[in-house]
Structure 1
Amino acid sequence: MRVKIILLFLFVVSQLTYPQERKINFVEYNLNNGLHVILHQDNSTPIVAITVTYHVGSKNEQPDRTGFAHFFEHLMFEGSEYIGRGEFDKISENAGGQNNASTSFDETFYYQILPSNQLELGLWMESERMLHLKIDSIGVETQRKVVKEERKQRLDNQPYGTLQEQVFKHAYKVHPYRWTPIGSAQYIDKATLDEFIDFYKHYYVPQNAVLSISGDINIEQAKKEIEKYFADIPRGKYEIKQPQIVEPPLNGEVRDTVYDNIQLPLVLFAYRIPAQGTPDYYALDMLNTILAQGQSSRLYKSLVDKQQKAVYAGSLNFALEDPGLFITYAVANVGVNAEDLEKAMQLELDKVKDSLISKREYQKLQNQTENDFVTSNSTNLGVARSLANYYLFFHNTNLINTEINKYMMVTREDIKRVADKYLNNDNRVVLYYLPKKANSTK
């Protein structure tokens, strides 16, 4: 019996340590039209993830035409020359697959997860979107209604729903990060059919996209099928330039109060931070884990469990292609006012600025970071997305195997240093979200 227990223990340990040591092999190359292709073969399950990432997000929009990238997230499912209106989802589902998309400040991401024997079908569907997307008045008007309704449901009629908009509007004054991906309903209404067509022709082209595939494939066969469906798509005619706008420093704390249809106050701090992939980014990311990952994190433990000043407390390292934001926030408990909650939040931030984290907490942090890194690449979809992003933003696809080393090199001193450098009052936005009734009593 003892031998069996030892063998079982060794098996469990091997399963836990293997993913951390597993190298993710891939093949990457460019088609003549500029499309970058990344292939990862994993024959462990008969599943394939097909992703297409376009280097276009809300930061590529004009101030008076926000929401275009998000609009196309929807419009790309409308149909094409050879896919009937509304048939995209049906074709995928009938083949046993699922699909979706998302839009950020910097990119728009589309994916399909299919049985591996449907790889060719998925490639054909994605090539249709890239070459033959149907942009007509019927589709545009349909999606105008959908996008506006989504905004109502997710932002306008949701408690704290406008929080992201308010944060970025206050934190940026010249950079296009000052508006968020969901955009403005009024600008979507004003946009003409020709404007949507021009946006599509400008950004949804091979040289501005990464096709990343992970799963049960044969590399050489996949190359042939990719050639068949994507090689003849012409390059876009526009020169694609990413914004080079540099946001000036805040040079002083920005404060504001938003009155919303809520019951409990919310307090938020947003600090300017460097772009993703810069040396300080990794220390800030680990600081975020210390403050807010899980119920044992510092903010949650102190504000929610011990002091009971908040019903929830969190933090977010909002890293972007250009300098982003480090955000901490808390929702007040019943009877706790925003001023008291702010003081309690500030005390927790001061602790990481004034003192090194303990060696025990540091070891736990490294374990959490390594686990998160492995987990993010534990599925075919996760691998495909990571490969695409590492190429798109860093032109170093092999970071999927090596970026963890950048995290592991972060020291306790680095964490204290970045906390002291970036989490200061002159570099932040402070927002109070208060119930509307608090405004009416003034």
Structure 2
Amino acid sequence: MFITMILNHLSPKNFNRSKELYQIKFFEEKLSNGLHVILHQDKTTPLVSISVLYHVGSKNETPGKSGFAHFFEHLMFEGSKNIKKGEYFKYIAYNGGKNNAYTNHDETCYYEILPSDRLPLALWLESERMLHAKVDEESINIQREVVKEEKKMRVENQPYVKAISEIIPSLLFKKHPYKYPIIGLYQDLDTATEADYKEFYKTYYVPNNAVLVVSGDFDMNEARMLIKKYFSSIPKGTRNFKMNKIEEEPMKKEIFFTYVDKNTKVPGVFLSYRVPKLTDEDSYVLKIIDHVLSSGESSRIMKNIVNTKQVASYAGSSLDTMEDYGIFMIYGLINPGITIDQLTKIIDEEIDLLKEKGITEYELEKQKNCFEKKFISDNYSMSGITASLSHYYLYYHNADLINTDIEKYRKITTGDIKQVANKYLNKNNRVRLYNVPDNENTDK
């Protein structure tokens, strides 16, 4: 009897019903100034998650003015016309919340989580940031030193980071701004003027270049009224935000580079492939390949290269998906007694095996289950829902993908894996970088 009940619950009819439990309902509208608003109501817990996502990242910067988007991630916490210097974090902390921001190549996001009755506070703070941020000489000089110190700590004094964040992108991309580091270059930080920053702020941090998402416990009519109160009077930006498409010439041969890294004692190889943009169907397949290669102890790289052959002390892969292109990286750090060329050869053998034999149905099903679990998990928390709604609207112009995007993974076949691996994971489509210590002699 018990087994029959379980089987009935797992029938296709009930499975479809269980999937409906995870449907995220939301309301969308666009204000007259172009601000796109998405509201998801969930009264389960007395919290609200708020984010303002600006469609500006390092790719929107011009040569000689790198690091501006990341600089504004810091600068826009400095204060505003009606908020004293340093008080953004105090407002949030004193009201029992938390907040932060991030920048990447394509976007800058500011977000808060607060008790639900503090929604008006969060909306006021974000409207102040959008309309009245302090972009003055004093604030700029403070943050200039903060960013320099961050760059020194996180890039200049860390092993392998400069190779990954600066050298490899500059070799993979000849034309596209993805070749510049998100954090910027020292010389650009030193020469940027107050007028430069004011122009950047005036251009990109405007309502028609932003998505505002609120998720959680709130009254729908009240939230819409508050959003209009705080944001509707902010002037629309005048710029056409559609960028001219910058296309890279196809790579015709492997680019080899040796970077001498003062911060490391262990040589490493980084094989970086140029792959398509995040909305491309092949990007979904590449995510599966990335997981097959290096997600967990049973993944191919961990099992074969690190544990069985023991030629690498650490190895793996990563996929950085961006709006215009992506970077698929496979890397390893040598074990004692192994040369960097030997490790490269063994990694290449693993890649060739993937291209020739593909993966098993078991491996594919395992990864599909993993992505389905993540998909459900992302839709479980208010902050996860807020982030997903922003992401799907910004890049796909379809926020409802928060409910349906998993179907793209379910449709992937073992044939797709093999085809995509052969299409992109080729020596003539990559940068091979050897990251070596000072005075290290490596076989070329």
TM, length-normalised to structure 2 = 0.94
Q: 2:420 aligns with which of 395, 418, 421?
A: 418
Q: 1:430 aligns with which of 432, 436, 441?
A: 432
Q: CA offsets per residue over residues 9-31 of structure 1, 9 Å max, x none?
A: x9xxx99x957851011111100
Q: Match of 1:170? A: 171
Q: What one-letter code is carried by the residue in structure 1 that aligns with 2:216?
A: G
Q: Match of 2:303? A: 301
Identity percentage over the alignment? 46
8 A contact 2:340–2:443 mirrored in 1: no
Q: Match of 1:356? A: 358
Please give the secondary structure, in 2, of the residue aligned with 1:273.
strand
Q: Match of 1:154? A: 154
Q: Match of 2:389? A: 387
| Matches of 2:281 and 2:316, distance apart in 1 | 23
Q: Match of 1:68? A: 68
Moved more, 22-31 or 360-369: 360-369
Q: What one-letter code is carried by the residue in structure 1 that aligns with 2:149?
A: E
- Aligned pairs for 1:38-437 (under 5 A) are 38-162=38-162, 163-261=164-262, 262-437=264-439
Q: CA offsets per residue over residues 322-377 of structure 1, 9 Å max, x none?
A: 02211111122233221111111111111110013112112111111211222223
Moved more, 348-357 or 207-216: 348-357
Q: How many residues end up aligned between the 2 structures?
A: 434
Q: CA offsets per residue over residues 102-144 of structure 1, 9 Å max, x none?
A: 1100000110111111111000000000011111111000000
8 A contact 2:339–2:442 mirrored in 1: no
| Matches of 2:415 and 2:291, distance apart in 1 | 16
8 A contact 2:273–2:429 mirrored in 1: yes
8 A contact 1:259–1:439 mirrored in 2: no
Task: Give the Å deviation of 1:301.
Answer: 1.3
8 A contact 1:257–1:432 mirrored in 2: yes
| Matches of 1:171 and 1:359, distance apart in 2 | 33
Q: What one-letter code is carried by the residue in structure 1 that aligns with 2:88?
A: F
Q: What one-letter code is carried by the residue in structure 2 that aligns with 1:80?
A: S
Task: Give the Å deviation of 1:387.
Answer: 0.5
| Matches of 1:243 and 1:114, distance apart in 2 | 39
Change in 2 beyond 3 A, CA 1:410/1:34: same
Q: What one-letter code is carried by the residue in structure 2 that aligns with 1:293?
A: S
Unpaired stretches in structure 1, ≥5 consecutive residues? none
Task: Give the Å deviation of 1:238.
Answer: 2.6
TM, length-normalised to structure 1 = 0.94
| Matches of 2:67 and 2:89, distance apart in 1 | 23
| Matches of 1:243 and 1:100, distance apart in 2 | 31
Give the superposed CA RMSD. Answer: 2.1
Task: Give the Å deviation of 1:312.
Answer: 1.6
8 A contact 1:260–1:434 mirrored in 2: yes
| Matches of 2:439 and 2:42, distance apart in 1 | 57
| Matches of 1:215 and 1:336, distance apart in 2 | 54
